[in-house]
């Protein structure tokens, strides 16, 4: 017994930082919450399939399913035999059920234009675009690539595809022509929907112009549809390129939605590429829609009079699930913003919250840390009292950033839901239900009702810290990797047995059942035989008052195996000095112990991030070890890496 314990102890990740602070939702929030009965957890656990079937009833189906789940590990089918249409569920049913004139999308362009689309507007545009796609020869099962800025035509394009059963592949508008080309080629897309351009930080992003480079090497593309966003320079190829507004003028007003099998593909989407080559994830219709609608309603506590704002770009899964399919299936009113948070001023987000009376706000730790860095004067200048619930997703949130969000944005009155999930999971899997669960900064929380998760060690035994595993299929789970069925099995279902999903994330679990994320398994540090997740060391650094953001990596050391190299950005008004660097090393030792002492602390203007805002530690490792940089196609800003390299070498 003892020997066993010691062995598993060695394999486990160390758990260094235990956050004891606990926050309760305010009484008035609890009293009005969508979910108020804590027994939902036990009820779902007693019969998960019955629970998910009940959640699926919130959708409109043409034909009901014969079987809730068919599980042939690692292949799942949900709601087998059921038929539905995702677009019908997001648009038509609201038009028929009293929400026809309700705002679906309140949009603000970066230069300041505003548009409001009701569900009726969405219905009309979606129907016409669906007919236009058909006229161009798009059929059920065909792939359509979408490369657009954050304008209402982007969700409309996705819904139009869903309406006719075409599979969309959205490529984030900030990606290069090469990334677009690769994704079009992988999907063999027949049509590309794009725009003449968009705005970001006052600059024009000439999307169609960039797309033309990709289109030289995409033989599958027969037609291109271009939304006219502004007056951007572009070239039209006769016969291939079509203006969106012209097509819509000529299109029939109604298009019958295609009844889709629950397991028909709704879309493919690539992961962010934080750890390497992005993977083309496949999501199907019935289970996905069930999962996103249930989680949206329960976790974001969405009600009729809410103004919901998720700041993600629709080019990422957060946008697919929690801007498009979840909120629209729920008949919500959402805000959509095209541009940067600091344009034209550093308070643009707070101006938007104040102007539109945003009530539910969902963003990423990378944004929160940027707000912290800029200073509290920007949110303070605005009336944020409409906010009642905050959310975060994308990376572990350091306790300091959590507290800042809670105090300065939420006014200590808004619960925060820290939502853990992945492109692969399709829906949120770990979080708190804001009306019944307390919050613990930096702990995502518990598995959503009906979801089963564990922290396992290498041997597959439960551990207090180790790897996060999902131990039961869930409706919105990926079905495969596009064109790579073996990689699907290999990547996710071979770490233990083929019914246990490997997330690639390290996690710890506390006595109250709360899960805390420790960072990527690929990034784990190994110091003198101790395996340490990046999250806790970084949180100790961010805990220092001068620090805005931190990333740590392990670099090879002859004696210790690895030593820790830290990269830090400071808050406005702080100087990166040698003294501060020593102070930070000491701060980490004081917070969590000598084992985690960074051997070096390098200051940076910014850290290398993916285009979705996640820190790319693998590039920092390459820099610290003086290696040639790995795959940088998903890197947001290459100049950040050049600067870091220079500074790091100077410091050496």
Rounded to a whole number of angstroms, the minimum distance from the CB of residue 304 to ligand ATP is 27
For ligand ATP, what does the binding mask look like between residues 543 and 582, x meaning CB under 6 A?
----------------------------------------
Kindly determine how many residues on this chain lie close enough to bind ligand ATP according to the rule CB under 6 A. 25
Query: From the list 48, 82, 273, 399, which residue makes contact with ligand ATP (rule: CB under 6 A)?
Result: 273
Query: Are the CB atoms for 384 and 350 separated by under 8 Å?
Result: yes
Q: For the CB of residue 321, give the shortest distance to ligand ATP in the complex, in Å.
A: 11
x/- track of binding to ligand ATP for residues 418-447 (CB under 6 A): xxxxxx--------------------x---
> From the CB of 218, what's the least distance to ligand ATP, in Å?
23
Interface with ligand ATP, residue 517, by CB under 6 A: yes
Give the DSSP per-residue string, 332-356.
Answer: -EEEEE-S-TTSSSTTHHHHHHHHH
Q: What share of the chain is helix, strand, coil (3-state, %, to 5)?
A: 35, 25, 40
Considering the complex, state which of residue 118 and residue 363 has its C-beta at the smaller distance from ligand ATP.
363
Q: To the nearest whole angstrom, how small is the minimum distance from the Cβ of residue 519 to ligand ATP?
A: 7
Q: Does 267 bind ligand ATP (CB under 6 A)?
A: no
Sign of CA dihedral 504, 506, 510, 512: negative
Per CB under 6 A, the list member of 395, 454, 536, 549 interacting with ligand ATP is 395
Residue 297 interacting partner from ligand ATP, Mg ion, none (CB closer than 5 to 8 Å by kind): none
Closest approach, Cβ 501 to ligand ATP, in A, equals 11
59, 341, 375, 412 from 378: Cα distances, Å: 41, 11, 7, 17
Residue number with CB closer to Mg ion (283 or 348): 283
- Among Mg ion, ligand ATP, none, partner that 229 touches (CB below 5 to 8 angstroms by kind): none
Decide: is 295 part of the binding site for ligand ATP (CB under 6 A).
no
Contact 480, 497 (CB under 8 A): no
Are 553 and 523 a contacting pair, CB within 8 Å? yes
Question: What's the CA angle centered on 164, arms 160 and 167, to 5 degrees?
Answer: 80
Return d(Cα 597, Cα 590) in angstroms, integer. Answer: 9
| Residue 396 binds which of Mg ion, ligand ATP, none (CB < 5-8 A, kind-dependent) | ligand ATP
Nearer to ligand ATP, 362 or 378 (CB): 362
Q: Which of residues 613-652 bind ligand ATP (CB under 6 A)?
A: 614
DSSP track, 21-45: --BPPPHHHHHH-S---TTHHHHHH
Q: Quick one: 271 or 321, whose CB is closer to Mg ion?
A: 271
Whether 596 contacts 532, CB under 8 Å:
yes
The H or E element spanning position 458 is none
Handedness of CA 36, 37, 41, 47 (dihedral sign): negative
292 touches ligand ATP by CB under 6 A: no
In the range 44-63, which residues lie near ligand ATP by CB under 6 A? none
Measure CA of the first residue to CA of the last residue in the chain; give whole Å: 47
Provide, rounded to whole angstroms, the least separation between the CB of residue 614 and Mg ion. 9
Minimum CB separation of residue 439 from ligand ATP in Å reads 13
Q: Is residue 534 helix, strand or coil?
A: helix
Examine residue 505 and tell whether it contacts ligand ATP (CB under 6 A).
Answer: yes
Closest distance of CB 33 from ligand ATP, Å:
21
3-state helix/strand/coil string of 90-123: HHHHHHHCCCCCCEEEEEECCCCCEEEEEHHHHH
Contact, 67 vs 81, CB < 8 A? yes
What is the rounded CA–CA span in Å between residue 324 and residue 152? 10
Burial of 254 (0-12, 13-18, 19+ CB in 10 A): exposed
Separation of alpha carbons 115 and 105, rounded Å? 8
Q: Which of 85, 118, 131, 272 is in the footprint of ligand ATP by CB under 6 A?
A: 272
Residue 87 CA to residue 91 CA, distance in Å, equals 6
> Nearer to ligand ATP by C-beta: 15 or 242?
15
Q: Tell me, what DSSP letter sits at residue 594?
A: G
H or E segment and range at residue 177: helix 177-187
Task: Examine residue 275 and tell whether it contacts ligand ATP (CB under 6 A).
Answer: yes
Encode 44-66 in three state secondary structure: HHHCHHHHHHHHHCCCCCCECCC
Q: Give the other-Cβ count within 10 Å of 545's Cβ.
A: 10
Q: Contacts with ligand ATP in 399-418 (CB under 6 A)?
A: 418
Vertex 160: Cα angle to 156 and 166 (nearest 5): 135
User: 309 or 443: whose CB is closer to ligand ATP?
Assistant: 443
Residue nearest to Mg ion (CB): 271
Closest separation in Å from C-beta 135 to Mg ion? 38
Q: Which is nearer to Mg ion, 271 or 398 (CB)?
A: 271
C-alpha 360: how far from its chain's center? 16
Q: Residue 552 binds which entry of ligand ATP, Mg ion, none, with Cβ cut-offs from 5 to 8 Å by kind? A: none
Residue of 33, 224, 323, 393 that binds ligand ATP (CB under 6 A): 393
Asked if 394 is part of the footprint of ligand ATP (rule: CB under 6 A), the reply reads yes
Among ligand ATP, Mg ion, none, residue 426 binds (CB under 5-8 Å by kind): none
* Binding-residue pattern over the window 192 to 231 for Mg ion, x denoting contact by CB under 5 A: ----------------------------------------
Q: Which stretch binds ligand ATP (CB under 6 A): 41-49, 328-336, 367-375, 394-402?
A: 394-402
Taking the complex as a whole, the smallest distance from the CB of residue 363 to ligand ATP amounts, in Å, to 12
Q: Are 14 and 530 in contact (CB under 8 A)?
A: yes
Q: State the binding string over 321-360 for Mg ion (x if CB under 5 A, else -).
A: ----------------------------------------
Write b or e for each residue in 293-316: b if 16 or more Cβ atoms lie within 10 A of its Cβ, otherwise e: bbbbbbbbbbbeebbbbbbbbbbb
- x/- track of binding to ligand ATP for residues 14-33 (CB under 6 A): --------------------
Site for ligand ATP contains 369 (CB under 6 A): no
State the nearest-atom distance from the C-beta of 394 to ligand ATP, in Å. 5
3-state secondary structure 385-441: CCCCEEEECCCCCCHHHHHHHHHHHCCCCCCEEECECCCCCCCCCEECCCCCCCECC
In the shown chain, the binding pattern of residues 252 to 271 toward Mg ion, with x for contact by CB under 5 A and - for none, equals -------------------x
Residues 268-297 contacting Mg ion, CB under 5 A: 271
For residues 481 and 279, the answer to whether their CB atoms sit within 8 Å is yes
Q: Say whether residue 278 binds ligand ATP (CB under 6 A).
A: yes
Per CB under 5 A, residues contacting Mg ion are 271
Per CB under 6 A, residues contacting ligand ATP are 271-275, 278, 316-317, 393-396, 418-423, 444, 503, 505, 517, 520, 612, 614
């Amino acid at each position: 017994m003892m020997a066993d314990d010691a062995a598993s102890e060695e394999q486990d990740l160390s758990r260094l930082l235990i956050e004891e602070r606990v926050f309760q939702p305010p009484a008035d929030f609890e009293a009005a919450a969508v979910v108020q009965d804590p027994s939902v957890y036990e009820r779902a656990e007693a019969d998960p399939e019955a629970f998910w079937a009940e959640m699926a009833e919130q959708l409109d189906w043409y034909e009901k399913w014969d079987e809730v789940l068919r599980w042939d590990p690692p292949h799942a089918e949900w709601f087998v035999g059921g038929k539905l249409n995702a677009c019908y569920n997001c648009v038509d049913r609201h038009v028929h059920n009293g929400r026809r004139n309700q705002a679906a999308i309140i949009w603000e362009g970066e230069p300041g234009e505003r548009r409001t689309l009701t569900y009726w507007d969405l219905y009309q545009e979606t129907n016409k675009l669906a007919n236009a796609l058909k006229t161009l020869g798009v059929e059920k099962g065909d792939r359509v690539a979408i490369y657009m800025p954050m304008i209402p035509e982007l969700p409309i394009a996705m819904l139009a595809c869903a309406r006719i059963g075409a599979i969309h592949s959205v490529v984030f508008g900030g990606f290069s022509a090469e990334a677009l080309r690769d994704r079009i080629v992988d999907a063999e897309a027949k049509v590309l929907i794009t725009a003449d351009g968009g705005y970001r930080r006052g600059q024009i992003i000439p999307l169609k112009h960039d797309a033309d480079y990709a289109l030289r090497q995409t033989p599958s593309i027969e037609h291109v549809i271009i939304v006219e966003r502004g007056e951007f320079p572009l070239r039209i190829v006769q016969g291939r390129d079509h203006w969106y507004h012209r097509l819509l003028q000529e299109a029939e007003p109604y298009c019958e939605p295609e009844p889709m099998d629950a397991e028909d593909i709704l879309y493919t989407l690539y992961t962010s590429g934080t750890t390497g080559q992005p993977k083309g994830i496949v999501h199907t219709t019935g289970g996905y829609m069930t999962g996103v609608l249930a989680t949206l309603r329960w976790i974001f506590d969405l009600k009729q009079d809410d103004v919901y704002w998720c700041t993600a770009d629709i080019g990422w899964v957060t946008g697919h699930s929690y801007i498009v399919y979840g909120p629209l299936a729920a008949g919500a009113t959402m805000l959509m913003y095209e541009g940067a948070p600091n344009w034209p001023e550093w308070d643009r987000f707070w101006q938007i919250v104040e102007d539109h009376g945003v009530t539910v706000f969902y963003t990423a730790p990378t944004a929160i840390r940027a707000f912290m860095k800029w200073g509290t004067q920007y949110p303070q200048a605005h009336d944020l009292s409409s906010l009642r619930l905050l959310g975060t997703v994308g990376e572990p949130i350091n306790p300091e950033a959590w507290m800042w969000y809670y105090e300065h944005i939420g006014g200590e009155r808004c619960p925060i839901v820290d939502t853990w999930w992945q492109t692969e999971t399709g829906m949120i899997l770990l979080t708190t239900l804001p009306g019944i669960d307390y919050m613990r900064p930096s702990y995502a929380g518990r598995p959503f009702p009906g979801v089963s998760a564990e922290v396992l060690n290498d041997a597959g035994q439960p551990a207090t810290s180790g790897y996060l595993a999902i131990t039961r299929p869930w409706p919105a789970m990926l079905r495969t990797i596009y064109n790579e069925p073996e990689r699907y099995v290999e990547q996710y279902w071979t770490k233990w047995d083929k019914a246990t999903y490997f997330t690639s994330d390290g996690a710890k679990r506390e006595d109250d059942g709360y899960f805390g994320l420790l960072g990527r398994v690929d990034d784990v540090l190994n110091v003198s035989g101790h395996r340490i997740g990046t999250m806790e060391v970084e949180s100790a650094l961010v805990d220092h008052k001068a620090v805005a953001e931190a990333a740590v990596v392990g670099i090879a050391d002859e004696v210790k195996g690895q030593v820790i190299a830290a990269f830090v950005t400071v808050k406005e008004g702080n100087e990166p000095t040698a003294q501060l660097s020593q102070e930070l090393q000491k701060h980490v030792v004081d917070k969590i112990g000598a084992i985690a002492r960074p051997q070096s602390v390098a200051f940076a203007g910014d850290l290398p991030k993916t285009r979705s805002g996640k820190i790319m530690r693998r590039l920092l490792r390459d820099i610290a070890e003086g290696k040639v940089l790995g795959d940088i196609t998903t890197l947001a800003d290459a100049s950040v890496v050049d600067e870091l390299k220079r500074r790091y070498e100077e410091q050496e």
